[in-house]
Amino acid sequence: MAKYQHHDAAWRRAKDEGLRSRAALKLREIDGKFRVFRRGGRVLDLGCWPGGWLQVAAAAVGGRGRVVGVDLLAVDKLEIANVVTLVGDLADEAVCRELLEELGGTADLVLSDMSPSLSGVRDADRARHERLVELAIAVAGRTLSGGGVLVVKLFADIPQEITAGLRADFDKVSRFKPPTTRKGSREIYLVARGYRKQREAPPPGAGTVADERGDTKVQ
């Protein structure tokens, strides 16, 4: 098993750049591979604490874009004009409506780096993360524009049936492991592009947002 190093090279690089999480580097790598951002776009960040992904998204969409984040935890103020953060549970229908109001329309890109607070019981932790993936997919179904993109973190051994439906709803679905992912981590990212907005997704059923972004170790 790879030795866990909290203050690794990626962490130091993120800190040097003033980013709030090392996971922000992963989002840059995802965009470098798939070009998920567009200038002037509207971005929704699910489970946005501590704010690293918000920083990257705000820079990528530019001043004419809009970035709205939500988490159960309040994000320390970023002082970025095109970023708004909300505190709330994504399983609450009223929160989804508020997100759309703050965005000013449907999203071009929905991001989810949500992870559960780990208990150390592998099956229980995996089940909790699966619920978060399902929640992110449900929220994306309610908030994405036609042609939009969803980026969601999942564990490599997540059941295929959870994400199989995305292949019917998106033109292309890819799995990607950013180079700055910690050695030994089983986390990967699902990048679904070209949303076919055919139907309204069912309302989110349950779920909660995460602790540290992108630093979950499951192996």
- 210 lies in a domain? no
Q: What are the structure tokens assigned to 108, written together?
A: 């071009």
- 216 lies in a domain? no
- CA–CA separation, 68 vs 45, rounded Å? 6
- 217 lies in a domain? no
- CA–CA separation, 181 vs 75, rounded Å? 23
- 201 lies in a domain? no
- 4 lies in a domain? no
Cβ neighbourhood burial of 188 (10 Å; 0-12, 13-18, 19+): middle
How many folded domains does the chain comprise? 1
- The pLDDT score that the predictor gives to residue 198 is 61
Q: Enumerate the active-site residues.
A: 153
Q: What are the structure tokens assigned to 203, written together?
A: 């309302």
The whole-number mean pLDDT for each consecutive block of 10 residues of the chain, a chain of 219 residues, reads 55 76 94 98 97 97 97 94 96 93 97 84 84 93 96 82 85 94 88 81 42 33
- 56 lies in a domain? yes
- 115 lies in a domain? yes
**pTM for this one?**
0.84
- 84 lies in a domain? yes
The H-or-E segment that residue 160 falls in is helix 160-164
Residues 6+ apart with CB under 8 A from 171: 193, 194, 196
- CA–CA separation, 68 vs 56, rounded Å? 12
The residue range of the domain holding 103 is 9-195
Report the CATH number at residue 130.
Answer: 3.40.50.150
Q: What are the structure tokens assigned to 174, written together?
A: 């890819």
- The pLDDT score that the predictor gives to residue 215 is 35
- The pLDDT score that the predictor gives to residue 143 is 95
